[in-house]
Structure 1
Amino acid sequence: MTIKVAFFDCDGTLTKARNSWEYLHRKLNIWDKQAERYQALFREGKISYYEFCKNDALLWKGLPVSSVASLLKGITYHSGAYEVVKALKKRGILTVILSTGLSLLVERVREDLGIDMSFSNELLSESGHLTGEIKINVGFNKKGYLVKKILGDIGVSRKEACAVGDGDGDTSMFEEVVLAIGFHPQDHVSSVIHRAICGRSLLEMVEIIDEYERHTSSVV
């Protein structure tokens, strides 16, 4: 079976920053006293994901979009990010980012790496400044829904799709593809991934896909 679509997490997978929200809060020196509390409340189940994101976005109200984008440019890529996307696209594999992170970062990543499609959460702005509102396009544990929708829209089966990610927010995405790859995965996702990349480079993903395709072709 040939892989036709590759889904990527962004934060912590393509990029070195594991959480672009937290990264921005720390750069603005508002993580420890304010934003960290919202994340804790969400993790404890005391507020919804929407409330968590809404409260976070309000902390950035009034900031110039250009300043925020400039801060996010400090986020760099993992080794092999450019190369793996280039290799996959050379094979005709559709590449898609599914991220609960910020669109100001994800859109830059998509353009830099030449990825075909991206879905992320959008900070709303007016006259060049953040309004403190956010449009949630990728909810927590909703990546799986997007995988199913995208595959259905383009007529590709889950047996022809792979995904790479690192954390619990990727679990539903992993469950909807035939080949789930963890990149330095957190312990609690080990049960839902098929392979793990523990080396330095994302380019190992190509070898994993090659091995999968050889195995499935020999079985047939």
Structure 2
Amino acid sequence: MPATSPAPAIPAAALTGLVLAGGRGQRMGGVDKGLQRLHGKPLAAHVLARLAPQVGALAISANRNRDVYAELGAPWQAQVIADTLPDYPGPLAGLLAGLRAARTEWLLSAPCDSPWLPADLGARLAEAARAQDTLIATATTANAAGEVSLHPVFALVHTSLASDLAAFLDAGERKVRAWYARHTAAEVAFADERAFYNVNSLQELADLDRA
């Protein structure tokens, strides 16, 4: 029998980049985390700029200050979308809103507080999803001791999973990893841990801003 042809590559144009900025910002005292400034720009603007060259379209998941986020996304015509579920139920709610709003086959998500995300995040996750024939791909890193960390909200998800995710959330589930466990998810190892650093407090942000 002839060998099976490999699946075609997933182009950047088939990806919508989603900045997850819809949280409560509890560890920052309730401020809108994505709008806190680092080196003169809101954190979400740093993430948008990193995602833009990797995707065909952009969106921002935001539940507060949506007009401000619309201005941030204006250079790229990024749409601003809100959770359809009440009470800030977590990143999966933002992901669901993105999956439903996307006009591409794939959604590439990243949190609003990770200003140094990899420039090849989309390409490497897309290649893993193609090679392993999965509908989800996400990132991992390893520390000096070889301990592996999963970064679940840095993910590539096929938009066909929207209904499954909606059912998962309707059942009261909220954990990202638990939803991934319902599916086969490719994991991609990245060498640079700093690329996945997320700012968790105003003091951390102030320290970074002075650096």
Shorter-chain TM-score range: 0.3 to 0.5
Q: Using structure 1 for the length normalisation, give the TM-score.
A: 0.36
Q: Using structure 2 for the length normalisation, give the TM-score.
A: 0.37
